[in-house]
A and B are shown apart, each in its own frame.
Chain A
Amino acid sequence: MKVIIIDDEPLARSIVKEYLQNHPELELVQECNDGLEGLKAIQELKPDLIFLDIQMPKINGFEMLELLDQPPAVIFTTAFDEYAIKAFEAHAIDYLLKPFNKERFDKAIEKCLSSPVNRPGLIQSNNSKEKQTQDLLETASHSPAQSQRIVVKNGSKIKIIPVQDIFYLEAADDYVKIHTKEGYFLKNKTMNHFEQVLDAQHFVRSHRSYIINIQQITRIDPYEKDNHVAILRAGNKVPVSRSGYTRLKQVLGL
């Protein structure tokens, strides 16, 4: 099994490396300093298992996972407090709370090897593995730190969008279009997901298919019967449904 360690602290990587020596079946193929390096290494080397820190420069562990189409099995290694841990407790293959000892580490490896998804020799059911990681991400990204920015893939480039730069979000089949002054970016997520992670004081679901950043609104005009349309500073027009109008009025204090 190929293994990658992604952590920005050399000593934190070194302890994982040391513990790995007892597991000859696991081959360490690369160590990475931050989320972007990790992303590149995973795409190139296709590891079976990664040890992933959460707080890292550039993009954090969660954001990195979000950008992967087929994420490998993940064991988090983090000093993050229990609040964040509990969020994905049920879904991660395992998490190791720093500092951790060898016994705890071995248990995590055992868990990973015995999980049907990762047992070598079995046909890997990518679906179930994907599902597992998806679930993990769904819950993990609810931690408040996640809603400050959104990381998207733009071709081969990674783009970090601070939430205050978002004009509005638009549903588009399986994707959500994130409209900004630089045009729109696609993200493979649901509208409900964004409605939950974004700060409800600034982002309002104005319509089944739209979420508006209220700081971008200049005015709201009536539009046909019962409906309204929000005019944004940049000139965009965003539909507002009847219930969306009620929600907007509430947040805007009208």
Chain B
Amino acid sequence: MSRSPLSVNRFRIIFISIWVGLAFDITVILKWYGLGWGWPVAIIDSLISCVILFILCLPLMITLRYYTPQQKNYSAIFIWCVFITGVWLALIDWLLTLALGNYDGYIAFMHHSRIIRGSIGFLLTGCVALAFVIWYNLEEQKEIEKRKQDSDRLAKEAELFKLRQQMQPHFLFNSLNSINALIGIRPEEARKMVQQLSDFLRGTLKKEETQWVSLQEELQYLQLYLDIEKVRFGNRLSTQIESDATTNEMKLPALLMQPIVENAIKFGLYDTTGEIMISLQAKTDGSDLVMQVKNPFDPETSSSSQGTGFGLKSVQRRLYLLFGRNDLLRTESKDNIFTTEVKIPQMPVPGILN
């Protein structure tokens, strides 16, 4: 339900001022152009006319709040206004006769001015009706706009959530399989890996898409992931993570790097044989944070066109949803090393999530 304009302080003051001003005007007009009855007559006439009209306008204002006429139904408003004016004229006729009938020539004056009173009354009612119709239409527009924004935001959040959820289930099951093997041969390590895996999963669950975290936090989390892969693949995987005090404090959207590192692991570790190195390097570019991930790949089995797997498409999409830019992700393939570089602006962009 829209707010009534009278519930807004500013409009209430304007509205009441207009009525008071009106009453004052009528008083002054009656005093100067009337037949010389003096102030009391002018004030009483003006007050009775204005108060009655105001009271008659109330039902109109209340009705419009619950029923906003469609374009073709504006004639209903016109009829309302005519009706209110008629009732008003009848009422003030009666009341003014009661109150001021003993003044000489007043009744004749009153009857004489009926046409002018009627026009003014109709004009006023019309203005009130029009003001309220416009107000409620604007309110409705605002509400539609807000709903649209809300649903856009929800759709965006849902999409981001979906993009994050596409984590590889293989990873989880293979890790559990490794734990199963360790229980038999090296139970202490099994216990350690259960802890790592739990910390890792908790990290994915608790973080929200729109949340920004410090690079240090994100790197600790990636380290967990890489440590688990190290257990799975024994000595084959070594990692190198470079970040200094400045970059450690910089911020990035939670879990943004995860699919990039997953992709590096997929091509660099799952699809290769022998010992391999995966490196993560944090740099700055102006005020932006730049993350570089390098992994080797097997040129025989992964053709260069396969370089951007699903993992990276989702990162690209997420960066677009977050920053409205498509130029933040860059990949390069050289000497059997695949490099993924992502630039993370540090300035919050207005109008975008967060």
Contacts and interface: CB of A to CB of B under 8 A. Distances in A.
A62 B306 CA distance: 20
Interface size range of chain A in the complex: 20 to 34
A55 B233 CA distance: 14
A11 B270 CA distance: 14
Interface string B160-200: 00000000011001101111111011000000000000000
Given A12-B181, A57-B298, A79 B305 contact: no
B150 interface: no
Interface string B233-251: 1100000000000000000
Interface residues of B, number: 27
The SS class assigned to the A binding surface is loop
B180 to A, nearest CB: 4
A33 interface: yes
A8 B271 CA distance: 10
The SS class assigned to the B binding surface is helix
Contact of B182 (A11, A33, A97, A149): A11
B173 A79 contact: yes
Contacts of A44: none
A98 B301 contact: no
Contacts of B233: 8-10
A98 B176 contact: yes
A57 B180 contact: no
B223 to A, nearest CB: 20
A10 B177 contact: no
A9 B273 contact: no
A98 B231 CA distance: 16
Given A33-B273, A160-B301, A99 B182 contact: no
A16 to B, nearest CB: 9
Interface in B197-243: 231-234
Interface of B: 169-170, 173-174, 176-182, 184-185, 231-234, 270-273, 298, 300-301, 303, 305-306
Shortest 6 CB-CB distances between A and B: which pairs? A79-B173, A15-B181, A98-B177, A99-B177, A11-B181, A11-B178
Given A15-B181, A34-B273, A57-B270, 20 more contacts: A8-B270, A10-B233, A10-B234, A11-B177, A12-B181, A15-B180, A18-B184, A18-B185, A57-B271, A57-B273, A57-B301, A58-B298, A79-B170, A81-B169, A81-B170, A98-B176, A98-B177, A101-B180, A148-B306, A164-B305
9 contacts: A9-B177, A10-B233, A12-B181, A18-B184, A34-B273, A79-B177, A81-B170, A99-B179, A164-B303
